Amino acid sequence: MKRGIFTSITVVLLAAVLLYLVSSIALFANSMDEVNSALVRTEAAGAQADSAASAIRRLETSAAVGVSFGGNNVTFGQNLSNLAKYRQGLAGLADFLAAYGAVQNVSVNASEASMPRIYLHPQNITLVHSAGKVELVPQNSSASAGSIMGFDVLLLAGIPTPRLHWDQITEAQPESPNALRFHFGLQGTNGTVSDSRVLDRRFASTLRLLDSANQTIAVVQSAPPAALGFDYPPAANNLYLTVILQLNTSPGEAELGKSIVAVDGGAVKKVARVLLS
């Protein structure tokens, strides 16, 4: 009798243990399925973000600003007349990515990308575009401005070659700690003009391009502590601008905007950078 009761209790306990094990295995399997699903969603979001970033990079470098590194120099080359077409192309690409983002929602930070705004790391220098203006600006510390040694500004323009006139200029000795090397060269339809100076980075200097009627065509300005601005008519055609930024250290990378591409899949989110170098 006692043995029968003991056997019955043992069977019940074993059954309970078995049921617990089966339940645990099912829970584990379900959790693994959830983990695998999350990994798949994360991988898909990453792939979409990378694909979108690659498409924007190709559009930017071909239609807006090309960036190249050589030693301590960074070269920005662009057809200023193409910026409007680039912005139209970017808007179309952003709409396409948003509409055909599979199960993920893909968005593009157009306010950063369409200008376009380019960040140079680690020097923390920004190339900014606005209507009729291009600026190279050191962003904060003296180290950022101090990394800039000079500029070469080269312009290819489909206009009669203008003459150069300095509205204001403050020069420095080449060995001065405030020295900022500056060279400007322009090729027009009837020849070239150029000027090379060593500017004092503590003061603004302004070079004006004048046509035969003494009307301003464009303006190049150096502003303290080491910023560069180029103003031109927004509707101008056939303007090819190249700016060579001379640094005292090697540049690391050039990035289009900040967090340009965002993929939102609900529980899974991914942000992608668009590196141009």
Q: Does an H or E element contain 119, and which?
A: strand 117-121
Q: What is the model's pTM?
A: 0.81
Determine whether 2 is exposed, middle or buried from the number of CB atoms within 10 Å of its CB (0-12, 13-18, 19+).
exposed
**Tens of pLDDT along 214-230?**
999 999 999 999 999 99
**Tens of pLDDT along 142-198?**
779 999 999 999 999 999 999 999 999 999 999 999 999 999 999 999 999 999 999
Left if phi > 0, otherwise alpha if psi is -120 to 50, otherwise beta: which for 238?
Answer: left
**Tens of pLDDT along 62-89?**
889 999 999 999 999 999 988 888 989 9
Domain boundaries, the chain: 44-272
